[in-house]
Structure 1
Amino acid sequence: MAEQREQAADDAMMTRIGQVIMLHHAGDREEARDRYLGLWAEIGEDGDPLHRCTLAHYMADAQDDPDDELAWDLRALSAAEGLTEARLALHEQSLAVRALYPSLHLNLAADYVKLGRPEAARSHLTQARAAVGALGDDGYGDGVRAAIARLETRVAAMPPGGGEGPGRGSAGGEPLGPPRRSS
């Protein structure tokens, strides 16, 4: 019985996070940020790692400041490091913890590009590339792999010490990070 209550609470929180993601995707960034922060306060810094990882992963995209985006992406990676396969399986049967890492490292690489820190970006791209074997052969996996390749090309053109100022997206108008899984 306690396990069923726990599962219901988990499902409810993931649903609530998903609702804010939909609000954000509909274009209301400010309201989404406010709601994400409210959920973050409920979950807490030491709360369930899946909830923290998911929320921080999406909260990063709602940020206007690249430093804030980096801070949220770092929180997502930190939370993912606390996830176990068993915990993740309670929510998503087909997803392995290791499948989160290509996207998380790609996001961090994109953050560092925006901040003009190519060496940090290269480091996270290396980690993203090393983890792509965990991705499925599906649209999401293909999108993450393509985003890694695009960002690798962009970072390769950056001078080693930086020299590129902060900015959103690439020169071609494409977002720097990976596609997001729908919740």
Structure 2
Amino acid sequence: MADDRMADIFAAVRLGRGDSEAGRHALRTLWDELGPAGDPLQRCVVAHHLAVLQKTAEESLIWDQRALTAVFSPGIPLDDGLRCFLPSLYLNLADSHRRVGDFDGARMQLAIARGHLRILAEDAYGAMIRSGLDRVEEALLAGSAERLTAE
């Protein structure tokens, strides 16, 4: 059942890559179906991807915060499946804080993200997260609140 749900989540994520409105709708439906008592990893993944698909920085920040809340909900053990998301979650939080003009909050989230980098392997995913941290930091130094373009 959990595998079927993850398949549904990743199908919605793929849908959002081509059609952000349809992706938002599919992920929001899954979020509502999971509910507050749903699997923390699934809730985290859904919120994490919903944040990326939002139209405004303020909406993205709300979904980034929901993703992190799913990880740190009371009584939820921080297993490796959840722990591996932390650098990416904090990276996205840093970027959302930057985009809403909260540069101090962005710097704090970047520092937390960098503190979790040791969990990442030296692979393509780890390189992508590290590069993302550098890009957000560069934008912060430039005083930019603009959305970063994908590389």
Q: What TM-score does the superposition give when structure 1 sets the normalisation length?
A: 0.76
Q: What whole-Å deviation, never above 9, does each CA across 1:67-92 have from its counterpart, x for those lacking one?
A: 11110010001111245355xxxxxx
* Aligned residue in 1 for 2:53: 62
Q: Are 1:153 and 2:146 counterparts?
A: no
**C-alpha distance in 2 between matches for 1:167 and 1:118:** 12
1-side partners of 2:56 and 2:77: how far apart? 31
State the SS of the aligned residue for 1:12.
helix
The RMSD of aligned alpha carbons is 1.6
- The 5 A counterparts of 1:106-125 are 106-125=91-110
Rate the CA distance shift 1:69–1:130 in 2: closer, same or farther, 3 A. same
Which of the residues 4, 10, 14 maps onto 2:2?
Answer: 10
Alignment match, 1:101: 86
How far apart are the structure 1 equivalents of 2:27 and 2:97?
23
Q: Count the aligned residue pairs.
A: 149
Shift of 1:96: 4.3
Q: How does 1:67-106 map to 2 (within 5 A)?
A: 67-82=58-73, 83-84=76-77, 96-106=81-91
Pick the structure with more helix per residue: 2
Percent identity over the alignment? 35
Q: Distance in 1 between matches of 2:16 and 2:119?
A: 28
TM-score by length of 2: 0.91
Q: Which has the larger radius of gyration?
A: 1
Q: Which letter maps to 2:7?
A: T
Q: How far apart, CA to CA, are the structure 1 residues paired with 2:82 and 2:113?
A: 14
Rounded to whole Å, the distance in 2 between the matches of 1:98 and 1:42 is 24
Contact residue 106 and residue 128 of structure 1 kept, 8 A: yes
CA distance in 2, matches of 1:153, 1:98: 26
